A = this chain, B = another copy of it.
Amino acid sequence: MRLTTKGRYAVTAMLDLAYHSEKRPVTLTDIAKRQQISLSYLEQLFARLRRAGMVEGVRGPGGGYQLSRDASQINIAEIIIAVDETIDSTRCGGKANCQNNQPCLTHDLWLGLSEQIRDYLASISLQDVLQRKNVRLIAERQDKQASGVQGIDMLLRQETPI
């Protein structure tokens, strides 16, 4: 499986969206602020999420993104697949042509692992994660920080421009 920060960003953004989009669409600008992900990068990720049918974009003022399904119907694995294309551990993408068009020594091993990871992540929905106490606490903290009440860490983190 390819678990890069790309996939992590996507899951984080989707969680943020699920948490905030009960009523109105959420703008990427807001998500960018709260989760500290660059806006342009978020745009790229959401383009894929939209093509995968997981979110819908609403243009114009008051617009933003919203989940196109209930948070209980979106699992973590599909989010990662949507942005990362593959969730495969094998080198060949399951085609078993890793070594000179023949499977390599470890082919089956990685195949088993892929399955393991996919099953695990597919068994967890956005809602499952949101229901965790810790997650709700963190989300509340982020809301406060993003709205201006910055913690000391936030301030420390700002680098002095040259």
Contacts and interface: CB of A to CB of B under 8 A. Distances in A.
Contact of A100 (B108, B120, B154): B154
A113 B106 contact: no
A116 B120 contact: yes
Interface stretch (A55-63, A66-74, A128-136): A128-136
Interface stretch (A9-17, A22-30, A38-46): A9-17
Quick one: copies of this chain in the complex? 2
B101 A153 contact: yes
A117 B113 contact: yes
Nearest to A119: B116
Contacts of A12: 104-106
A67 B158 CA distance: 50
A67 B72 CA distance: 48
B102 A153 contact: yes
A121 interface: yes
6 interchain residue pairs of minimum CB distance: A100-B153, A101-B153, A116-B120, A12-B106, A15-B105, A12-B105
Interface of A: 1-3, 5, 8, 11-12, 15-16, 35-36, 76, 89, 91, 99-110, 113, 116-117, 120-121, 124, 129, 132, 134-135, 138-139, 141-142, 145, 151, 153-154, 157
